[in-house]
Structure 1
Amino acid sequence: MTSHKLSYLQRPLENGHLFESVPARLEYIASRFPDKKAYVFLSPGKPRMSITGIELLEKSRAIAKALVGRGIKQGDIVGISQPNNRDSLFAILENERSNSSLPPLDPDDIALLIATSGSTGESKLAAHSHRTVLMSGVHLQDSMGYTSHDVVSNERKMSWIGGFPFQYLLNGVTTVTTEYRFESLKEHCLFTYSALQQEKCNIGCLLPVTLNGLADIFRENKSKLILDNIHTGGAPISKACLGGLGEITKNVTVCYGNSEAGFLTSKPFPTSSPSLLTTRQVSRIKD
């Protein structure tokens, strides 16, 4: 009798929620943090707006039912590319009410199409299932160390890989963002500086060009705003910028990934470490 040996070790999954659908995960997060802010929306000259976990769940269900009522079937593609604005999508369907039943979803069904950056050719659409969407949240958790207590300032659009709410679906992280497009980098950086303080953010998910502008603001104002971490990527970070980050954050984490595969790797640097100032490593991320 021939015996067979497995070429790998098998163990129970530590993240059982990975094989869930996005709506199921949204419901779970809303049950844990019903009144916690899922998103805070800031724009100059406009009132501060926010949406809680339970509001996000209820409005998402209403939109899904309205789409089904319009004849959208499982497997159809619905193209939505809205700005980071609480009411822009909800307003489209605010007058519709539907009692349509929502179809059952499999975790391996396609949930999301994300456009690639097009840096190596024409931009493509990368398909992600419900399972890989949640897996991306786990990758971020492992590489960046998010917790449910974090308040993150993220300037990227929600339709980009770097702006999609992976971490909210994983553990209910609050995200502060804006829909407004500023006419100058300085205006953008001044607004970001104010938002970090106003919302008591402890993490900044910021592009290198924003970090350069923030470093200048801190040097001009001789002020300190110590974040727990800054997450960045997408372009080189200048040595002059790195030298000033100790006034802004305790740590910097540079991330590498792409729209097809998600978040692949990261490198953390304590701002007190000499290696932060001398490193020649430059990571690029396709948003």
Structure 2
Amino acid sequence: MRMADRYGDKEVYVFLHSDGRRDSITAKELYKKSRQLAHSLLSMGVGKGDVVATCLYNDLDLLICTFGVICTGAIQLNATIRNEDGSDLHSKLKNLDVKCLVLNPGDDHKQLKACMNFIQKINADGSVQSSQVPALKRLISTSTVNGLEMLQLRECLREQGDSFKLPKLDPEATMLLFPTLGSTGESKFVPHSHHDAMIIGHHLKVSIGYDTADVMYCERRIAWIGGFPFMFLHDALKVVTKTKPFSTLRELFEFTYKVMRKERCTVAGLLPSTVIGLVDMVKDMPEKPSFLLKNIHTAGLPVDSTCMNAIVILTETVTNAYGSSEGGCFTSNPVKKKENYLNYCSGKPLAGFELKVVNDEGFVVEREKVGLISVRSFNQSHIICNGEFHFVLECVLYND
């Protein structure tokens, strides 16, 4: 409500499709639709502490569902279907006692067909029967399917009376579950509270260095920590993003460049490979780009100095950051001159974090040596990351 009152008709999210379609929403519209969905979910028995899974594309439906679920006090879980028989989704829904599933049936209804392997019956009011997932009681579809009556998301976004009040939320209550990458084994789900979300939003703002007048292009999906709307929750930064992946890297680079220029983006959150691809593409252009970003924020992979070629060509600054599903963004390295960049360096801990790199015996390793990274935060009572680490870190411990 605070964002809707403060930013009103400001366009806060833009979703771009490969066919040229542009879906956008204002702060006021997002609050209205989220509130409408929350009312429908509550009337279906979904409430505080329940887990609601969304299996959607990176689109406006996903954004509205994310905030609609949050408004009820339920827990948001973004899920994907990778196995044709839906066994991977089935195991997630069962293990996490998911109560409601919001589903895009998918191309040729592939996602719905996968779900029908563990859902025996779907009723027109959204109720379902599943002996394999006993906790699952509701299914909402984002589009119609011939021959099958299902509750549609648009039906859940109808106008409600003014007397309806959203439940009061506990800042320390779990708001969402994020999947880890699974690089050290099977992917796990990490809980984050409403308070965590605001802290992560603040750290991202500090790391990127944006203000509320900026426009950010982000190629990460809402379903992942790098694309989740933390920055909207923090101060309603306008974000432009894509809905689906591209079949070739060239298509991705051309789309990204065109969008950043057309939407007048001032900052960008990009993977290292996209940064390098954009630089190579721009170098081959007969004319110099007519725009210059304030900052390109990158993370997720070791960042080679090649990424710093974007400085002056595409951006004033390239910021290499490091974080995790557990802790959000906790180091940052803003670079304005390529020659000042230490290869793979992800910088210094952000305020509120302590970090060290240790050997197998638990002793701090020498500078530029490989070891185990341990990070802790004032709002975390446990180590939030502990695994093999191959980046170079400038720890406060080592500063001269």
Superposition map of 1:42-121 within 5 A: 42-87=16-61, 91=142, 92-96=152-156, 97=158, 101-121=165-185
Q: Trace 1:244-259 onto structure 2 (pairs within 5 A).
A: 244-259=310-325
Aligned-residue Cα RMSD (Å) equals 2.0
SS in 1 for 2:311: helix
Opposite residue 299 of structure 2, the aligned amino acid is G
Partner of 1:201: 265
Q: Is the 8 A contact 1:167 1:173 kept in 2?
A: yes
Q: Is contact 2:210–2:267 with CA below 8 Å preserved after alignment?
A: no
SS state at 1:200 partner: coil
More divergent stretch after superposition (234-243 vs 214-223) = 234-243
Match of 1:38 among 12, 24, 32: 12
Unaligned runs of 5+ in 1: 1-26
Question: How far did residue 273 of structure 1 move?
Answer: 4.8
Unaligned runs of 5+ in 2: 66-141, 143-151, 347-388, 391-400
Asked if the contact 1:83/1:158 (under 8 Å) is kept, the reply is: no
Query: Counting helix residues as a fraction of each chain, which structure ranks higher?
Result: 1
Residue 137 of structure 1 is matched in structure 2 by 201
Greater strand content:
2
Name the SS of the counterpart of 1:71 in structure 2. coil
Distance 1:177 1:192 in 2: 9
Aligned match of 1:274: 339
- C-alpha separation in 2, matches of 1:166 and 1:157: 12
Structure 1 or 2, whichever has the larger Rg, is: 2
The amino acid of 1:94's aligned partner reads R
Corresponding residue for residue 187 of structure 1: 251
Report if the CA contact (8 A) 1:146-1:167 is conserved: no
What letter corresponds to residue 153 of structure 2 in structure 1? L
* CA distance in 1 between partners of 2:279 and 2:195 (Å): 38
Structure-1-length-normalised TM-score: 0.83
What secondary structure, in the 3-state scheme, does the structure 1 residue paired with 2:281 have? helix
What is the aligned partner in structure 2 of residue 171 from structure 1?
A: 235
SS at match of 2:201: helix
C-alpha distance in 1, partners of 2:214/2:222? 18
Paired amino acid for 1:44: S
Counterpart CA distance in 2 for 1:81 and 1:266 is 32
Higher relative contact order (CA 8 A, sep 6+): 1
Could you tell me which residue of structure 2 aligns to residue 15 of structure 1?
none
- How many residue pairs match? The answer is 256
Q: Which runs of 4+ in 1 moved over 6 A?
A: none
Percent identity, aligned pairs only?
39
The 1:159/1:145 distance shift into structure 2, 3 A limit, reads same
The answer on whether the counterparts of 2:305 and 2:343 sit within 8 Å (CA) in structure 1 is: no
Question: Cα gap change, 1:167/1:36 in structure 2, threshold over 3 Å: closer, same or farther?
Answer: same
Verify the 8 A CA contact 2:221 2:228 in the aligned structure 1.
yes
Contact 2:308 2:338 in 1 (8 A): no
Deviation readout 1:49-95 (Å, 9 max, x if unpaired): 10000000001111111111111121111112422211466744211
Q: Secondary structure at the match of 1:49?
A: strand
